[in-house]
Amino acid sequence: MPTYSLFASTPKAMESLLAEELQSLGVNNNKPTIAGVAFQGDLETAYRACLWSRTANRILLVLGEFTVKDQQDLYNGVQKINWFEHINPEGSFAVTFSAKNSTAINNTHFGALKVKDAIVDQMRARFNTRPSIDTGQPNIRVNVYLSGETAQLSLDLSGVSLHRRGYRDINIKAPIKENLAAAMLLRSGWPKIAALGGALIDPMCGSGTLLLEGAMIAADYAPGLLRDYFGFIGWKQHDAGCWKKLRAEAEQRKKIGLTKLPVIVGFDQDRQTINAALAHIANAGLQNKIHVERRDIEGAAPAESWKPGLIICNPPYGERLGDTEDTAELYKKFGAALKAHFIGWKAGLIISDPELGFRLGIRSQKPVTLFNGALECKLLRLDIDENAFFIPKARTTEERLHNVLEINRQASGHPSPLWKGGDEDTAVSKGHEAGAVDFANRLKKNLKKLSKWAKQRHIHCYRVYDADLPEYSVAVDIYQGEHTWVNVQEYEPPKTIDQHKADQRLAALLTELPKVLNISGEHVFLKIRRKQRSTDQYEKFGETGRFHCIEENGCRLLVNFEDYLDTGLFLDHRPIRLMIQQQAKDKRFLNLFAYTGSATVHAAVGGAKSTTTVDMSNTYISWAKNNMALNKTFGQHDYIQADCLEWLAQEAGNPHSKHYELIFLDPPTFSNSKRMDDVFDIQNDHVQLIQQTVKLLAPRGVLYFSTNFRRFKIDTEALQGLYVEDITAETIPEDFARNPKIHYCWRIIKDA
């Protein structure tokens, strides 16, 4: 057999893999280049590459090279080939033309036409007839690649791309090409794993491409065996005997290989893709060899009888399928499934965004670059063992909260360090760090003093720690009812503070708290406070609906530790609520921006003639009603769900509005109002707000005005005609004395 110059094309970044594959097929002298491998061989070598290559796109037989400086050079170069040696005059052909860095011809359609004309003109001149064009299954397919001024003219022996194995006939969204799937498996070590009997699982199998390619590799199943058309079948120099011999050899190897096939299983949550996978498995003749079933990622787990092997998958990238946030959550669930069920296995998955890879929480080997079409991706290869896991760096407050709790849980439950650090993970050990001891000692000291004070004053809910140590910047509040609960609020650290270190400290703190307070860790709740938007007060964190009853100065109140940023009770307002309770008898009370209505309860328990509770949130109005229902009270109680700013403006302008002897006004720092041209700002708008509220005061009535804006300055000059008394010091309780700027408070009375 003569020796030919051959070229195998492949997707970019797979050249070395293709070179290794060709070497395994007996091609010893090959030369990898961009998007392919050049090599020498006879027809049997070329046929074997077409039949057995799992990573190539095309196998080209080079007919010649020539210089092209203009379109006539292209025409002349093609005509130098004796086309009668390759095709009969009544035959058919197709032309593929591509160009790079060419000034002579840069229109690929025009280049293909010139090649076609050269072949047709030659055949017509010699035989007075011409071959036809067939873009489907022509007798031969001519390939011309023009790089600069050098044209390479070849026969495409593959006919259509070799990634088209012949088993896939149902299109789904975002499919992976068969040769890319094979590359993933080869780079993930599947041939060796399969030879040792390890199982293959694709937990997001889609239409089954990775499963089928894995089965073909494990069973020594030639990827070209299912195809009935190659580019050389109608070629005049085709050696049918050689091809028949190679196919018979491949059939025999497949027959033997299928008897040794390990467990291969696919899961997917979509019924349509499962049906597509079953159809493709049947097309490949692998029924009863590959098992697929509908199961979501959280339910992906191996049977006990399966030998640990390889998890392989092509998860959504976020660019083409689904929402980015949903995709990130899917990766977190995938990482959790690997941790829960696949210790001792290996894994390989292809991703386009490294950020998503970190969401798995598992260290990988050095990523391998691959291309899915034009999209550059990374193949992550994982050894799933106890030391491989890390807690991914949080991108949101909620993720950081989860991370801290996970660090705490893991550190408390393992006798030796488990989470080990790196640039993208959080480290912690069972002992945490020595600084946690300092926190514990300070907490004990505060508790000794404050618990005695609280007991003497019958106070059941109080702050026991408030960022006393800069390294442990949290507030710790104790709530006593049928149990003792602890609400921990971290003041989110600035971006200059290493988040991993902050997470370690917070996790260490959560470990120490139950020990010092002698309570169950289940009764410790963590919140991370951040710079708030105007709507954050109403942002829901959970859906537990778990409320607990506490007592304050004879009032029963409901608190919730899990569903909201705040518990429903601002502990620093304890003294002002007591003032209201003591002064409310036989008075009409108005609670503006009422939140959960705790001040209303105190007024009602204190004997108020009537109460009016106003808040924009239906949730908090309902909460206020439930608080009132816990207490035996008399009088008329009204609840108004409304934007307080709108409601107040309307009532202040109405001469027939109800007047009140006692008003509590505790507005937010910022708020949006439809009646204002700009956002409400407590510093800029407090004068108008107070003046409107005062219009609702009865003669000798008292308005208590409070704000927690730390830089607030009241404009007393603009409030002339009113008696304005700063009572902040009287309203700061002892448990908040270390933080006197927790709020400011004034008593305001109409000037007689």
Q: How large is the average pLDDT for residues 204-208?
A: 94
So what's the pLDDT on residue 747? Answer: 97
Structure token digits, residue 710: 């730390």
The pLDDT, as a whole number, for residue 183 is: 98
Residue 424 pLDDT: 34
Q: How confident is the model over 309-351, as pLDDT tens digits? A: 999 999 986 554 445 667 878 888 898 899 889 999 999 999 9
Per-residue 3-state assignment (H helix, E strand, C coil) for 663-710:
EEECCCCEECCCCCCCCEEHHHHHHHHHHHHHCCEEEEEEEEEEECCC
**pLDDT at 540 > cutoff 90:** no
Residue by residue, DSSP assigns 492-557 as: PPPTTS-HHHHHHHHHHHHHHHHHHHT--GGGEEEEEE-PPPTTGGG-B-------EEEEETTEEE
315 vs 372: CA distance, rounded Å: 12
pLDDT-based confidence at residue 99 (cuts at 50, 70, 90): very high
Flag whether pLDDT at 434 surpasses 60: no
**What share of the chain has pLDDT > 90, as a percent?**
73
Residue range 263-292: average pLDDT?
A: 95
Q: Is the pLDDT of residue 191 over 50?
A: yes
Q: Contact, 530 vs 422, CB < 8 A?
A: no
Tokens of 441: 């000692």
**Residue 604 main-chain phi, psi, to 5 deg:** -65, -45
pLDDT at 396: 54
Count of residues for the chain? 752
pLDDT (tens digit per residue) in 394-410 = 555 455 555 565 555 55
Q: Per 3-state DSSP, what percentage of the chain is helix, strand, and coil (rounded to 5)?
A: 35, 25, 40
Q: Average pLDDT of the chain?
A: 89
pLDDT at 429 over 80: no
Q: Which two tokens stand for residue 524?
A: 């410790």
Which among 63, 145, 156 has a CA at the least distance from the CA of 111? 145
Residue 435 has pLDDT above 60, yes or no: yes
b/e per residue 170-202 (b: at least 16 CB within 10 A) = bebeebbbbbbbbbbbbbbebeebbeeebbbbb
Of 27, 28, 22, 25, nearest to 10 by C-alpha is 22
The 10s digit of each residue's pLDDT in 671-689 is 765 444 567 899 999 999 9
Greater confidence (540 vs 504) lies with 504
Please name the amino acid found at residue 360: L
Q: What are phi and psi of 307, to 5 degrees?
A: -75, 130
Band (430; pLDDT cuts 50, 70, 90): very low
Closest CA to 487 of 457, 456, 529, 455: 529
Residue 49 amino acid letter: A
Residue 535 has pLDDT above 50, yes or no: no
d(CA 292, CA 408): 38
CA atoms of 390 and 409, how far apart (whole Å): 13
Instruction: With cut-offs at 50, 70 and 90, classify the pLDDT of residue 538.
Output: very low
Taking the CA atoms of residue 227, residue 231, residue 236 and residue 241 in that order, the dihedral angle to the nearest 10 degrees is -30
Higher pLDDT, 545 or 200: 200
Work out the burial of residue 419: count CB atoms within 10 Å of its CB; fewer than 13 is exposed, 13-18 middle, 19 or more buried: buried
**pLDDT exceeds cutoff 70 at 172:** no
Residues 73, 115 contacting (CB under 8 angstroms): no
Q: Set out the domains of the chain in order of their start, with CATH numbers.
A: 4-156 (3.30.2130.30), 178-219+260-389 (3.40.50.150), 435-538 (3.30.750.80), 551-750 (3.40.50.150)
* Verdict on whether the full-model pTM lies above 0.75: no
- Helix axis angle, 209-218 to 271-283, nearest 10°: 30
pLDDT the model gives residue 579: 98
Nearest to 277 by CA among 190, 202, 381, 360: 202
Among the residues of 136-225, which ranges form H helices?
A: 178-187, 190-195, 209-218
Region 102-108: mean pLDDT is 90
